[in-house]
Amino acid sequence: MVEAFQGYRLHVVMEDDEELDLDLTPLITARESFWLLKNFTYFRKVTLDPLGGLCWPRRLDCPVKNQRKMIHSVYSVVSFGLPT
């Protein structure tokens, strides 16, 4: 399950019931390829694909094989203030 909130934040419940509250600001602002996500109307259309990856319409997504790495990377930056 994934739920979007203002400020590029997501609440994600993984298959193993691990819950993460993520701020995707570092990812969205650092990569020009994610410009569509800067619009909250579009950002809140986030879903989980059948394999568990975050995805948005128009094929903007994060490959499943990188999903947990990306989530934990963003989580580390948000939680511990690590450099991006």
Token representation of residue 51: 């394999």
Query: Which tens digit of pLDDT belongs to each residue from 49-81?
Result: 777 778 888 765 554 444 555 554 444 433 333
Each domain of the chain, given as residue ranges in start order, spans 2-80
CATH code linked to domain 2-80: 3.30.2020.10
pTM of the model: 0.66
Contact 1, 12 (CB under 8 A): yes
**Counting Cβ atoms within 10 Å, is residue 81 exposed (0-12), middle (13-18) or buried (19+)?**
exposed
Query: Which tens digit of pLDDT belongs to each residue from 23-57?
Result: 889 888 888 888 888 999 999 999 887 777 788 88
DSSP H or E stretch at residue 2: strand 2-5
